Structure 1
Amino acid sequence: MAEPPQRSPHLRRDGAWVGASVPRREDPRLLAGRGRFVDDIVLPGMLHAQFVRSTEAHAEILSVDLSEVRAVPGVVAAYSAADLNLRGVTALLDRPPHEFVPTAMPVLAHDRARYVGEPVAIVVARDPYAVEDGVEAAIVEYAPLQPVVSDTAALAEGAPLVHAEAPRNTLVDVSLFATEGIDAIFDEAHTVVEVHTKTGRQNALPLETRGVVADWDDRDEQLRVQTCSQVPHQVRTVLARCVGLDEKQVRVIVPDMGGGFGQKCVVGREEIAAAAAALRLRRPVKWIEDRRDALTAAFLAREQRYAVRAAFSAEGEILALDADVVCDMGAYSCYPFTAGIEPLMASAEMPGVYKIPAYRVRGRAVTTNKAPTAPYRGVSRPQYVMVVERVFEKAARALGLDAVELRRRNVITVFPYKGVNDITYDPGSYLESLDLCEQTLRDEGWFSRRSDENRVIGIGFSCFSERTGYGSGAFAQRRMEVVPGFDISEIRMDLNGTVSVTTGTLSHGQSHETTMAQIVADRLGIPYDRVKIVQGDTDRITYGWGSFASRSITIGGSAVAAASVKLGDQLREIAAHLLEADVDSAELDGAGGVRVGDRSLSFAEIADVAYLKAHLLPKGVGPGLSATASFDVGGDGTFSNATHGVVVELDPGTGGIEILRYVCVEDCGVAIHPQVVEGQARGGIAQGIAGALFEQVTYDDAGQPLAPSFMEYKVPTAAEIPDVRIEHLETPCAFTESGAKGAGEGGTIGAPAAVLNAVNDALRHTGVELDDTPVPREAIFRALEKA
């Protein structure tokens, strides 16, 4: 018999891998510089591509002359839209024309340019220097048109149309909820407060910009595309359609990826054009996005405007919420989510953690002459949480109540709870997280320091939930033509008892190689370093929707767990047969084997029979050790929750904002790897602070981007991001395989509201209230100077 493996010192006291902060499997490779990212890939005969991009925000394209480009030394080819003749990309919603207008996004612009930086032609050369020279030689003749550069301009009467088929420049106009009698509730309410707010346009800013290496394999008759995408199967589908191949002729592989944050969970045009060039040339083609293009021409996010009213009783009970949401989605709908991704998210989930009995909302997506919008970590939730939390702050002042106490009176405390938005919330710790966050700041003495007359200190809170584990049913409610949801996992055990497990989700910093392995290790009773996670390859993964919306552990991890259980059942059945025992008496021994009474067989011994001595297998059991399982969520998903508490100090001399303390009390159910959860929270909080105080993509009246580099686009450094204290609560999910809820976006969701509320608390003596982000420091300076 094989010696049982020794218990790892990193395991929890109960011996489980799940819940233990084990060393990450990825770290030795990545920290030693042995990771393989798209730009690390070098193939024989590889060419380099870059794009001729529009210099006009809105213009007719009269001609594209590439003759001088082709004469540049080192240039191998140059293609316009007419040369490649590719099918465009169109994302669809199953909604009537008055609610949704589909618009095609051409791979290369041909008749009209709709934003500065839109790709017009692709140039392919022998090296990265020659390709830049080739791009400079292109001659594109434009007939400029009046650009539309804001949501208010887009909706104005008589505004120029970005797309002729979209009246009033409106791509989505949906009213999902309108409680009967809501106007009477407002008329009779003791207190009505209003919030009008605008959030700045942002870039998701993954450390690794977008990129692709594409090559044609004559032997396999297959176009191989290595790219940094969160959704490789979606890239395969769209690319095959655009270039006219069967899907089996396209293989998409994702190597190591340096962040995505949602920007890479949609299908980009440049990847398709570069792959089409490789197909035509029958040579490998690499495109790597430079930082200027990443800041100005990649998918952007976040620019939204809210007009919200809320009605309250004299005792502080919220009675009704009425919201108008306008999202500036830029020039095109993204695939597969469409321009509806942000207004539909805000409309469906705005009531959040509060018991709101009446709700009316209108959500609109408008198109403008700016780079298109894709999901970005949180997707509208940082915005609507900020709006709702501002509502509670203003209502508290109007009612003469403490803002935290007002929240206590209104948060959901009885579960399951079906909200006015027809969503059922599973159990969470909304009140408990609020109480603990406030008490932590009190125990640390921040409330007493706020009273120091020589300092301008404010404390702010935000209380919110994060819907995770969206299954097919939840996505179907949005009426997308493409309905994400399920995940499929296949597990195989080899001759020495180690296993390989596929997942349709995809790591781009979330530590899947570790956390998924922990789940498998617990199910099979083997060390987690004997589990290999396979991801990001459309030829090896049956099908997958990728990673977004905090679905990886909730859905992908549940599929992995279910497949592991199936494999465990196979091992038990074979072992019971070999030991001449009933299968019900066989159990996994937690040490890499199966036990029946005082007898046992190791997995390696069982695998030896399954592969090399198949004649000894029980009747009806075929050779090999493998299992496949899928997982989906039929209901509304699960809800993580958190409360963030922030202490800021304002500088009267400069209007500067310093974050003195940041406390996050989070509940994501069972934390597979607590340290990874904390890393996700801290990274998300940093991005939320960035949106609240620093980052914004702006344009001039001609639609020219005003933040083409890090000199203009203000990204916070480690000096501006505070240390974050994280406290964990645990309310396990009842329907995921491990009790885990998603943890990917919560940090980002809560930060803008908490920071903005803290700034306003510090300004309480001035009478000034700020509702927009990023917070304008000149407004703080003026308020403090006047006070």
Structure 2
Amino acid sequence: MTRQESGRPLVGRSVPRREDRRLVSGRGRFVDDIALPGMLHAQFVRSTVAHGEIMSMDLSAVRRVPGVVAAFTADDLAIGDITAQLARPQSQFVPTAMPVLARDKVRYVGEPLAIVVGLDAYAAEDGLEAAHVEYAPLPPVLGEETALADDAVLVHDEAARNTLVDVSLFATDGIDDIFDAAHRVVEVDVTTGRQNALPLETRGVVAHWDDREEQLLLQTCTQVPHQVRTVASRCLRLDERAVRVVVPDMGGGFGQKCVVGREEIAAAAAALRLGRPVKWIEDRKDALSASFLAREQHYRARAAFDTDGRILALDADVVCDMGAYSCYPFTAGIEPLMASAEMPGVYKVPAYRVRGRAITTNKAPTAPYRGVSRPQYVMVVERLFERAARELGLDPVEIRRRNVITDFPYTGVNDITYDPGSYLESLNLCERVVRDEGWYDTRTAAAAEGRHIGIGYACFSERTGYGSSAFAQRKMQVVPGFDISEVRMDTSGAVTVTTGTMSHGQSHETTMAQIVADALGLDIARVRLHQGDTDRVTYGWGTFASRSITVGGSAVRLAAERLGDKLRAIAAALWDTEPEQVELAGGHVRRRGGDSARDVLTHQEIADVAYLRADLLPKDIEPGLTATATFDVFNDGTFSNATHGVVVELHQDTGQVEMLRYVCVEDCGVAIHPQVVEGQCRGGIAQGIAGALYEEVTYDAAGEPSATSFMDYKVPTAQEIPEVSIHHLETPCAFTATGAKGAGEGGTIGAPAAVLNAVNDALRPTGTELDHTPITPQTVHRALNPEPVP
């Protein structure tokens, strides 16, 4: 039922999703669905060694393969490099150029060296087999120990000890004295495995030159179309006007597609060189092993507590393995800077010190992945509280109660101001649900039977809607933040809205339309969203960091309100009254207090005047019905929060971790579409469980990635993911135009910590505690079945 039919606002209601009819009926249009006349297909010759100098590359046999049209090296195409920068001194940040195609040196298995273009995808693949590349191998750098050694081989000559970022922050005066005097100090040493964001749709692009427009058109699945346009124009030495990026339907991104890739630029260069459309679709092997990865981190952390279990100080050393290059635009600083700035989270930490480092290794480079370090540092802090609770003899939930932030706004030791949230309320409700469902009694009964059931919690906040000021604090030279929206009504009274954010499954076509329809008093069916087209959308930073509704939705709301003001002004002029006496409701423009037909105008009647009878407009009202607005978050962002509760059973014979119950209590402010929020929670929790129990990319001694298929990269199915019980709290945000906070990453952030805590609770009788994810059946089996001491 629409607003026009019910008279109720659309925001806050789970109206039918507008995308579903097209997508479930097979009418979605993805990159691989695009077919253009004369289109060629591309694949990439990729490095087979992790580290080495390129001595020679012979593509002559490639060009003779039937169906191969061309093969190009970096020298053939003369493309510029992709370089991301931080405005920090050399001691804190070392920039590294990422060549679109490797020239003199390779730095990971799978790095692209040359592009092969064929009449079809099979011919291009056949051509790859004929490439002959000779290397002078160098010892691969494959982890923290070898990267930071005094005599380490360097991945980049300019990066001493293979360190790209080294920043020490928030060193509270006297922190060492606090630790020395504390009643109890607990420590953890936590590591997390390297992961792949694994969107259902792999990366891809169709590039071709439009002679009529004198423009290169890139149709690609990216979260950041305007950034792709900027980088492509610079690498290809074109005016930015001469590059148009259009994003069709997109099957997931999760952050992997919010950076600019190399292959898309190379395919565009090949299309320009050949004068024909070129398509590249990443195959699953390359997607698993050579695409942007994430999450490989190491935390050494300690916390000081008083006798009542209140935290006194937090001290951490963070090392993030970022792979071979910095990503654009976020750089290698994306993970250590996130962790360093936000680690105190929901807790009142009086003293704090952190060192964050990004190291470079001979692995595929790292991009942001849903949550960006927050799943890791939340796990670290929650482990510290669990350990402190055990050593102090306190209940794990009670020690959290004594430390969560309850007075807002709250400015933390990390110089971040937290807007109001429901930290304590979510914690209490989550525990009450788990307790009322009888899981504590079940755990006690299971222990008497020799079974191993554990309960774990994670209490956290999700910083969302980062504005320009927040990104500027990281010293980024490319500073994301604002969004621009245009709302336009045509002569039929229908509305088109643009947003600089980009949907890859979050239901923007529905939620943005809800916001506009409410602001204009329209039927939602009369609102249409345009996104992902750099010629139709003025500018935008795309979708990442849970910014779409907080920032993009706020710009949409403000633009719609401005258009509403113009509608009221025109109607007021026609009625010879004041705009304040006009309201937009029920699909019409109405004079307040009037009850006759003369007191009602349709949107179409107003539009007719605005466009077709401009002679009726007062001189101070311009013809047309268009409004534009920008929105930025100038405070420290908005903070959604949640508590996750997990119940697991460990099976002694197999080491299997069985998920018995999952409870999520979340607060993302005003939920524009509650069902969409729940979908975000469930999807994020599934990815968080995947990182906690299943997914990891490892490397052998030569730097060859282990997980090149789903036989090796263990992705959970619906069989492994439990039903999730979701409970909503609502603390409206004062800093967004809709009262909404972000909801895109919270599920992923809380799940690893909650699962790990539950597993450790189940292991308590064994005296073993685990501090690494993913938790494998082998690890659990060893803990439950220790070998007897001889």
* TM-score band w.r.t. shorter chain: over 0.9
CA distance in 2, matches of 1:424, 1:224: 43
> Which residue type is aligned with residue 320 of structure 1?
A
SS of 1:451's equivalent in the other structure is helix
Kept after mapping to 1: 8 A contact 2:4/2:586: no
Deviations 1:201-247 (A, max 9, x none): 00000000000000000111000000000000000000000011000
Aligned to 1:690: 690
Report the AA paired with residue 487 of structure 2. Answer: I
The alignment partner of 1:756 has SS state of helix
Partner residue, 2:485: 489
Paired residues of 1:576 and 1:596 also in contact (CA < 8 A): no
Specify whether residues 239 and 390 from structure 1 end up closer, same or farther in structure 2 by C-alpha distance, changes over 3 A only: same
Matches within 5 A, 1:609-758: 609-758=609-758
**Which residue identity lines up with residue 207 of structure 1 in the other structure?**
L
Deviations 1:245-273 (A, max 9, x none): 00000000000000000000000000000
Letter in 1 for 2:337: L
> Shift of the alpha carbon at 1:330?
0.1
Which residue of the other structure, out of 548, 571, 575, is the alignment partner of 1:575?
Answer: 571
Counterpart check, 1:537 vs 2:530 = no
CA distance in 2, matches of 1:615, 1:15: 36
| Partner residue, 2:32 | 39
1:55 to 39, 48, 54: 48
Matched, 1:472 2:468: yes
Measured against aligned partners, the alpha-carbon deviations of 1:486-534 in whole angstroms (never above 9, x if no partner) come to 0000010011111000000000000000000000011011111111010
**Alignment partner of 1:765: what SS?**
helix
For residues 713-741 of structure 1, give each alpha carbon's deviation from its aligned partner in whole angstroms, at most 9, with x where no partner exists.
Answer: 00000000000000000000012011000
* 8 Å CA contact 2:2, 2:524 repeated in 1: no
The change in CA–CA distance for 1:407 and 1:52 in structure 2 (over 3 A counts) is same
- Note if contact 1:319-1:358 (Cα within 8 Å) is conserved in structure 2: yes
**Corresponding position of 2:497:** 501
SS of 1:462 mapped into structure 2: strand
* C-alpha distance after superposition, 1:566-598 (max 9, x if no partner): 000000010011112122222223433242441
Matched, 1:318 2:311: yes
Match 2:212 to one of 212, 216, 219:
219
Residue deviations 1:350-384, cap 9 Å, x none?
A: 00000000000000000000000000000000000
Q: Does 1:438 align with 2:431?
A: yes
Q: Secondary structure at the match of 1:786?
A: coil
What TM-score comes out, normalization by structure 1 length? 0.98
**Conservation of the 8 A alpha-carbon contact between 1:492 and 1:626:** yes
Quote the residue 2:75 is aligned against.
Answer: 82
**RMSD across aligned C-alpha pairs, in angstroms?**
1.0
**Per the alignment, do residues 715 and 6 of structure 1 end up closer, same or farther by CA in structure 2, a change over 3 Å counting?**
closer
- After TM superposition, list the pairs within 5 Å mapping 1:12-161 onto structure 2: 15-161=8-154
Distance across 2 between alignment mates of 1:583 and 1:50: 60
After superposition, residues 220-235 of structure 1 pair within 5 angstroms as 220-235=213-228
Give the match's secondary structure for 2:300.
strand
Within 2, Cα distance between the matches of 1:57 and 1:6? Answer: 57
Q: How far 1:614 sits from its partner (Å)?
A: 1.0
Matches within 5 A, 1:335-346: 335-346=328-339
The answer for unaligned runs of 5 or more in structure 2 is none
d(CA) in 2 for partners of 1:97, 1:688: 35
Equivalent position of 1:262 in the other structure: 255
Runs of 4+ in 1 over 3 A off after TM superposition: 5-9
Conserved in 2, the CA contact under 8 Å of 1:571 and 1:594? no
Select between 38-47 and 772-781 the one with higher mean Cα deviation: 772-781
Q: State the Cα distance separating 1:422 from its structure 2 match.
A: 0.1
1:565 corresponding residue in structure 2: 561
Contact kept? 2:587, 2:603, Cα under 8 Å: no
Paired residue type of 1:617: L
Structure 1 distance, partners of 2:118, 2:162, is 39
Q: Secondary structure at the match of 2:381?
A: helix
2:588 touches 2:600 (CA, 8 Å); kept in 1?
A: no
Q: Which amino acid aligns with 1:550?
A: S
Within 5 Å, give how 1:349-364 maps onto structure 2.
349-364=342-357
- Aligned partner of 1:275 in structure 2 is 268
Q: Indicate whether 1:166 and 2:162 are aligned.
A: no
Partners of 2:3 and 2:522 within 8 A in 1:
no
Match of 1:308 among 301, 326, 330: 301
Find the aligned partners of 1:301 and 1:578 in 2 and give their Cα distance: 59
Look up the equivalent residue of 1:311 and give its one-letter code. Answer: A
**Secondary structure, aligned partner of 1:78:** strand
Work out whether residues 305 and 325 of structure 1, in 8 Å CA contact, stay in contact via their aligned partners in 2. Answer: yes
Contact 1:89 1:335 in 2 (8 A): yes
Q: Name the SS for the 2:371 alignment partner.
A: coil
- When residues 7 and 203 of structure 1 are mapped into structure 2, their CA distance, relative to the original with a 3 A threshold, is closer
Aligned residue in 2 for 1:419: 412
- Cα distance in 1, alignment partners of residues 41 and 580 from structure 2: 60
- Is the 1:524–1:590 Cα contact (8 Å) retained in structure 2? no
Q: Counterpart of 1:783 in structure 2: which amino acid?
A: A
Task: Provide, for residues 389-408 of structure 1, a one-character-per-residue CA deviation record: whole Å limited to 9, x for no partner.
Answer: 00000000110100100000
Task: Give the conservation status (yes or no) of the 8 Å contact 2:568–2:589.
Answer: no
Partner residue of 2:237? Answer: 244
- State how far apart, in whole Å, the 2-side matches of 1:597 and 1:222 are: 54
- Does structure 1 residue 525 correspond to structure 2 residue 518? no
User: How many residues matched?
Assistant: 780
Distance 2:590 2:413 in 1: 50
TM-score (norm 2): 0.98
Secondary structure at the aligned position of 2:304 is classed as strand
CA distance in 1, matches of 2:586, 2:416: 40
* In structure 1, C-alpha distance between the alignment counterparts of 2:784 and 2:131, rounded to whole Å: 53
Secondary structure, aligned partner of 1:373: coil
Residues 34 and 6 (structure 1), Cα distance of their counterparts in 2 relative to 1, 3 Å cut: closer
Task: Provide the secondary structure at the position in 2 that maps to 1:383.
Answer: helix
Q: How far apart are 1:6 and its partner, in Å?
A: 7.2
* Deviation larger for 150-159 or 684-693: 150-159
Measured in 1, the distance between the counterparts of 2:441 and 2:478 equals: 54
Q: Is the 8 A contact 2:571 2:589 kept in 1?
A: no
Is the contact made by 2:465 and 2:546 (CA closer than 8 Å) also made in structure 1? yes
CA contact (8 A) 2:4 2:587 kept: no
- Could you tell me which residue of structure 2 aligns to residue 783 of structure 1? 783
Q: CA deviation at 1:198?
A: 0.4
Shift of 1:8: 6.0
* CA displacement 1:654-713 (0-9 Å, x = unmatched): 111000000000000000000000000000000000000000000001000111100000
Corresponding letter in the other structure for 1:650 = L
Query: Does residue 370 of the first structure (1) align with residue 366 of the second (2)?
Result: no
Shift in Å, 1:786 = 3.4
How far off its partner does 1:450 sit? 0.3
Aligned to 1:595: 591
1:71-123 alpha-carbon deviations (Å, 9 max, x no partner)? 11111110001101111000000000000000000000010000000000000
SS of 1:629 mapped into structure 2: strand
Give the Å deviation of 1:7. Answer: 4.8
In the other structure, the counterpart of 2:459 is: 463
Q: Counterpart of 1:397? A: 390
Distance in 2 (CA, whole Å) between partners of 1:75 and 1:776 is 45
Distance (whole Å) between structure 1 residues aligned to residue 176 and residue 776 of structure 2: 34
Q: Distance in 2 between matches of 1:234 and 1:757?
A: 39
Q: Counterpart in 1 of 2:552?
A: 556
2:502 partner letter = L
The equivalent of 2:510 in structure 1 is 514
Deviation at 1:456, TM superposition (A): 1.1
Alpha-carbon distance in structure 1 between the residues aligned to 2:199 and 2:779 = 30
Confirm or deny: 8 A CA contact 1:275 1:285 kept in the other structure.
yes
